Amino acid sequence: MKGIGRLERCRAQGVRYKEFFQSVMGTREYIMLKLLLVSPDKDPLSGIAAALKEHDDVELLTTESGEKALAIVSKNAVDLVVTDEDVGDMSGLEFARRLISINPMINCACVSHLDPERFHEVSEGLGLMDQLPIRPGKEDAEKILRDLRIIKGEVSP
């Protein structure tokens, strides 16, 4: 695709992602992104969840524990996992450690209260795509979707 600018212009005109993709790519199907949110309490991730649901190309799954999330990703293709700082039965970082043993190529973003430098130190080697603030919202959703689309080669950086 020719960069995200054209998509943003189409969105401003009320064109949905599917119609945009088909206008660019012809009759081929557009790519659905499957995202999994992991949190024992839906409230901390409610802002990012609401923003993600606005996108036609996002299928949003949720679960309340790390073990359940690991079971989901071991049986299903998931493009991105977003974890709360605590996922009930383990920390978000422990979940990320276990996740890479199941699928080292999966994209993951973790909520953390740590400053960015400390977060980088403790998450080194986990392949995390991003650190999210304690109550991620619309801006965070847009950023991780943009980054995910770049990683997947759907848009140019």
Cα(146)–Cα(4) distance, integer angstroms: 8
Whole-prediction pTM: 0.80
**Whole-number pLDDT of residue 12:** 59
In the β-sheet with 33-38, what is the strand arrangement from edge to edge? Answer: 58-63, 33-38, 80-83, 107-111, 130-132
Q: Per-domain residue ranges for the chain? A: 1-30, 32-151
pLDDT of residue 144: 97
- Please name every residue paired with 59 in a beta bridge, in sequence order, or none if there are none: 34
Q: What is the pLDDT of residue 22?
A: 54
| Distance from C-alpha of 17 to C-alpha of 8, rounded to nearest angstrom | 10
Q: Please choose, from the candidates 79, 112, 75, the residue with its C-alpha nearest in 3D space to the C-alpha of residue 95.
A: 112
Of 54, 48, 70, nearest to 11 by C-alpha is 54
Residue 27: the pLDDT is 45
Per-residue pLDDT of the chain (157 residues; tens, 9 = 90+): 344 455 555 555 555 555 555 555 554 455 789 999 999 999 999 999 999 999 999 999 999 999 999 999 999 999 999 999 999 999 999 999 999 999 999 999 999 999 999 999 999 999 899 999 999 999 999 999 999 999 888 877 7
pLDDT (0 to 100) of residue 156: 76
Q: What does CATH list as the number for 32-151? A: 3.40.50.2300
